[in-house]
Amino acid sequence: MAYSQKVIDHYENPRNVGGFDKNDPSIATGMVGAPACGDVMKLQLKIDANGIIEDAKFKTYGCGSAIASSSLVTEWVKGKSIDEAVLIKNTDIAQELALPPVKIHCSILAEDAIKAAVADYKSKHQQ
């Protein structure tokens, strides 16, 4: 399968690989996917008091497109509010990375990871 230049760039130089302490109240963690499906994405966001995403880190088990999708998302969410971040659509990710149809699920997973992280943050701050 031929990869787009952008996928290769994110795969070879992934941005923001790593993680934060998930017990820190300012940290939102979203983990989506399953090993059996060949993709697991863990996205962590560091969110300030105003609900702005200060920093983002990821770890991904998956194909090159899954790694690229999560790497791209960490760049996109930084500086956005959590309400803006959940508006990121898988189609935007797929378009930016020129993903072929069989890899669209990678972009969906990345979108789900943002939503899961934001949901985690909201549940942490409800109590």
Partner 1 sequence: MSDIKLPIYLDYSSTTPVDPRVATKMAECLTSDGIFGNPASRSHKFGWVAEEAVDIARSQIAELVNADPREIVFTSGATESNNLAIKGAANFYGKQGKHIITVKTEHKAVLDTCRQLEREGFEVTYLNPEPNGLVDLNKLIDAMRPDTILVSIMHVNNEIGVIQDIAAIGEICRERKILFHVDAAQSTGKVAIDLQSLKVDLMSFSAHKTYGPKGIGALYVSRKPRVRLEAQMHGGGHERGMRSGTMATHQIVGMGEAFHLAKLEMAAENERLMMLRNRLWNGIKDIEAVYINGDMEHRVAGNLNVSFAYVEGESLIMALKDMAVSSGSACTSASLEPSYVLRALGLSDELAHSSIRFTMGRFTTEAEIDYVIGVIRNAIDKLREMSPLWDMYKEGIDLNTVEWAHH
Contact footprint for partner 1 (CB under 8 A): 1, 3, 8, 11, 14, 17, 19, 31-42, 59-64, 66-67, 102, 105, 108-109, 112, 116
Q: How far apart are the first and last CA of the chain?
A: 47
Query: Which candidate in 88, 106, 109, 110 is catalytic?
Result: 106
Least distance CB 34 / partner 1 (angstroms): 3
63 as an active site residue: the answer is: no
Query: Which candidate in 37, 87, 98, 102 is catalytic?
Result: 37
37 as an active site residue: the answer is: yes
CA-based nearest residue to 69, from 23, 8, 110: 110
CA-based nearest residue to 88, from 48, 55, 117: 117
Catalytic residues: 37, 106
